[in-house]
Homo-oligomer: A and B are copies of this chain.
Amino acid sequence: MTNIIFLGFGNVGYHLCNALYKHKHITVIQIYNRNKIVLDPELNHIPVTTKLSELKNADIYFIALPDDAIKSFSKDLPFQNKLVVHTSGSVEMNELSAINRKGVFYPLQTFSKKRTVNFKEVPICIEAESSSDLRKLKEIGEILSEKIIEIDSNKRAQLHLAAVYANNFVNYMYTISSAILAENNLSFDLLKPLISETARKIETLSAKEVQTGPARRNDQKTIEKHLHLLKDSRYKELYEQITIAIQTSYGKKL
């Protein structure tokens, strides 16, 4: 039996907790959050505290806090030599305080409170100082997912950077599309089959190979028409920048 505690309870903490608490080899013995939280009914048997001084004795502590809070938070923990892991893609393992045993348990997925996550296919990137701690993280990871990856902080940072393009920036493109449609009283539903197919395509084909559109085929007339249609200067600038980047990628000499 492994006793775990979540330190911070944002989207990542919430989803990890929900995915782990039912498993017979895991007990979530406590949740710490700086501010008071109300747990979902199925989790409300788990004790919650807002005080670090009340933290119990656990086998693994999962810090699930914003990236920029992890380092200083880990220094404030009132115990030593415990396995303390963070769940961030971009924070180095060594930003954790050396008073405890360090580790990383990074599920590579986007989490929202409103969506259930199927962890089975989510890559879980693990890192630890000792092989025994790595093994522990691997065991927990395997409860959730079929894809456990041992990866160091440098590679994880690159992976996280790639994920920023594939998720954050992609989602922002959806936001722009959505704004253009809204302004023209067109439903966003019209784009959903396209969005879905665009994502499915790269499961089997390379993104480089399936690129289409006015930028790809250097269709300057359509590009200029689009720039003319765009009223928001931010969207216009991005259109120009991305178009130039695509044209350069596919060999147009500027």
Interface residues of A, Cβ cutoff 8 Å to B: 11, 66-68, 90, 108-110, 112, 114-115, 117, 121-123, 147, 149, 155, 157-159, 161-178, 180-181, 183-184, 186, 188, 190-208, 210-217, 219, 221-222, 225-226, 229-230, 234-235, 237-239, 241-242, 245-246, 248-249
Contacts and interface: CB of A to CB of B under 8 A. Distances in A.
Question: Which 7 pairs between the two chains have the least Cβ-Cβ distance?
Answer: A168-B213, A199-B199, A174-B207, A162-B177, A175-B207, A166-B177, A162-B180
Contacts of A193: 108-109, 121-123
A235 B248 CA distance: 11
Contacts of A200: 196, 199
Nearest to A90: B222
> Interface majority SS on A: helix, strand, loop or mixed?
helix
Contacts of A198: 110, 166-167, 170-171, 199
Q: Which of A207, A219, A238 is most buried by chain B, counting CB atoms within 10 A of its CB?
A: A207
A21 B188 CA distance: 31
B165 A66 contact: no
B159 A197 contact: no
Contact of A208 (B108, B178, B180, B195): B178
Given A165-B180, A166-B195, A176-B165, A225 B90 contact: yes
